[in-house]
């Protein structure tokens, strides 16, 4: 299902956001100096000034990526703008070596990490960024070009809110406002902005898409309800059909596999990503193979994206494959990630060795779990020994093991919040925080 709505003027979008946000609130606005983020800052400041709100405060942050000449000057320009409006402003610079390839993705990760640091320092309740209606259309166009499948989840576009690093909600108040309306709003206020030359560089995919779809669009296509509803249904399915053992084995009731195919597919894809320690959902063709295997209803096993799906008469068992289980040394007092599935904190005064392809660990599983499944679980559960004294296990209290949900721990779209929380409860993790708006 999709539906169309008319875009909302920037000032009205800002008012709606301020009306809905949980109060009191401290908002951190990410401002690059471009028209979209500048318009967001000015609109939010205007609304707060007009309403005289005392329970909402506004600060801004600018990230200097240090990728081109003039970026530092633009950051200082934003600082001057904020000073004129009495808005506290922070500048952070992305220092260090830059990758030769994948610079856009690396810059994005660095940007959010630096913004997150500022948000933590000031105790921000929410981070606001200036993505617009045009950005949404471009995102959907890019994802559509990559896959013509009718079940392409990318067609949902960007979520209006995303949880970063499990603690900072990033919101997009202008996702229903057009860039042209934002620029008209700024011109009315006599406010200029900086034009980033990379926004016109056709070597970037988004710019090429923007050029191909240059005709102004006054209608928004909102397809997010598809993914939100599907994800919620998958969450309910997991609650009813799944149980977890040792945070690394999922058992699915056979009756659950007879449910709606789209729901089963979405749920199993999410579970497989968590169990396999994969940051991204399984490729569509891989899930096609898994679903085709399950549809036969015949006992057997299939592996996809580091996850093993073993179908037996009593249940479907889902676990990490036993190949390439890593070894890891964790120094005294250090915290490390193991196999993208567990966070290990060494609270002892000795170096601890985690895992290893020859490691085995006696596991405490119900007698109903098949012996061959239990044997594989022995190989994928984190084993802990003292370095230099192999065979000597760490004592109680010397190590903390925290299961990870790598598909959600860095970026969790609002679409999947309920689903992520169901899986978190399933494997013994605390719930993710609710968005403030």
Considering only CA atoms, which of 36, 46, 78, 80 is closest in space to residue 61?
78
404 within 8 A of 373, measured Cβ to Cβ: no
Considering only CA atoms, which of 250, 218, 210 is closest in space to residue 423?
250
Considering only CA atoms, which of 56, 119, 49, 57 is closest in space to residue 90?
119
174 within 8 A of 131, measured Cβ to Cβ: yes
Alpha carbon 169 to its chain's center: 10
Identify the helix (H) or strand (E) that includes residue 335. Answer: strand 335-338
Q: 56-64 and 88-93 as β-strands: parallel, antiparallel, unpaired?
A: parallel
Radius of gyration of the chain (CA): 24
User: What is the CB neighbour count within 10 angstroms for residue 329?
Assistant: 12
Torsion angle, CA of 264/141/145/272, rounded to 10 degrees? -30
The contacts of residue 145 (CB under 8 Å, 6+ apart) are 209
302 within 8 A of 252, measured Cβ to Cβ: no
Report DSSP state, residue 187.
H
286: phi > 0 → left, psi -120 to 50 → alpha, else beta; which? alpha
Give me the residue label for tokens 């993790």: 429
Which residues are documented as binding site for ATP? Answer: 32-37
SS3 call for 419 = helix
117 within 8 A of 133, measured Cβ to Cβ: no
């Amino acid at each position: 299902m999709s539906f169309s709505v008319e875009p909302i003027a920037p000032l009205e979008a800002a008012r709606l956001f301020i009306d809905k946000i949980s109060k009191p609130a401290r908002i951190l606005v990410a401002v690059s100096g471009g028209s979209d983020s500048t318009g967001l800052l000015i609109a939010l400041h205007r609304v707060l000034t007009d309403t005289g709100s005392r329970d909402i405060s506004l600060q801004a942050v600018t990230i200097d990526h240090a990728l081109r000449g003039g970026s530092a000057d633009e950051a200082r320009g934003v600082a001057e703008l904020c000073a004129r409006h009495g808005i506290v402003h922070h500048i952070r610079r992305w220092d260090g070596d830059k990758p030769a390839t994948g610079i856009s993705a690396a810059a994005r990760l660095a940007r959010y990490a630096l913004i997150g640091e500022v948000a933590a320092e000031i105790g921000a309740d929410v981070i606001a960024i200036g993505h617009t209606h045009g950005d949404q259309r471009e995102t959907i166009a890019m994802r559509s070009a990559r896959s013509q499948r009718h079940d392409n989840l990318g067609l949902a576009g960007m979520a209006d809110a995303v949880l970063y690093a499990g603690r900072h909600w990033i919101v997009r108040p202008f996702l229903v406002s057009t860039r042209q309306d934002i620029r008209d709003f700024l011109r009315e206020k006599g406010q200029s902005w900086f034009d980033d030359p990379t926004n016109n560089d056709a070597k970037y995919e988004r710019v090429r898409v923007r050029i191909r779809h240059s005709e102004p669009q006054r209608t928004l296509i909102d397809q997010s309800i598809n993914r939100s509803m599907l994800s919620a249904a998958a969450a309910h399915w997991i609650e009813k059909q799944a149980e977890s053992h040792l945070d690394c084995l999922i058992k699915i009731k056979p009756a659950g596999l007879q449910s709606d195919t789209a729901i089963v597919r979405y749920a199993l894809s999410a579970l497989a990503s968590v169990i396999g320690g994969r940051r991204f959902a399984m490729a569509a063709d891989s899930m096609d193979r898994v679903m085709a295997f399950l549809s036969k209803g015949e006992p057997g096993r299939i592996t996809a994206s580091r996850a093993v799906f073993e179908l037996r008469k009593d249940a479907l068992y889902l676990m990490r494959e036993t190949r390439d289980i890593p070894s890891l040394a964790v120094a005294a007092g250090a915290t490390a990630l193991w196999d993208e599935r567990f966070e290990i904190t060494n609270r002892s005064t000795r170096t601890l060795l985690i895992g290893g392809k020859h490691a085995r660990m006696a596991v405490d599983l119900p007698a109903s779990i098949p012996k061959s499944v239990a044997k594989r679980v022995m190989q994928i559960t984190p084993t802990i020994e003292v370095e230099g004294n192999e065979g000597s296990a760490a004592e109680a209290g010397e190590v903390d093991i925290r299961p990870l949900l790598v598909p959600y721990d860095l970026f969790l779209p609002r679409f999947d919040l309920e689903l992520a929380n169901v899986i978190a409860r399933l494997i013994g993790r605390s719930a993710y925080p609710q968005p403030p708006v």
